[in-house]
Amino acid sequence: MEQLADDGPGKPVHIWARTGSKPLLAAGNADGDAAMLRTARFGLLIRHDDAGREFAYDSGAEKALAKAKERGWTVVSMQNDFKVMFDL
C-alpha cells in the first residue's frame, strides 16, 4: 500500500510515483517542502510574514528561506507581495 508523503524528502518521490515526471512548478511554505522545490523546474516559496492580515510564521521555514537564493527559487512575501489576503 502506498504511504502518503506529505513532508520532506518523500514529497518528490510521491510526485514522481503519481505523475511519472518531475514537477514543472512546485510551491511550498516550509522547510519540509525544500526537497520538492529542488526537483521542480520552477520553485516558489511563500513567506508567511504578515501578522496583521494572516499569521506570521516564518518559524519552520528558516532553512528553505536560506536555500531560496542559492537555488533560484522565487520567494513571495505575503506582507509585501499580496495586495489582498482574504477577500471574503
pLDDT digits (tens, 9 = 90+) for 10-55: 888 888 888 999 999 999 999 999 999 999 999 999 999 999 988 8
Residue with cell 525544500: 34
Residues 6+ apart with CB under 8 A from 2: 17
Residue 42: beta bridge partners? 25
Give the cell for residue 84: 489582498
The pTM for the full model equals: 0.83
**Alpha helices per DSSP H over the chain:** 10-19, 34-39, 62-71, 78-81
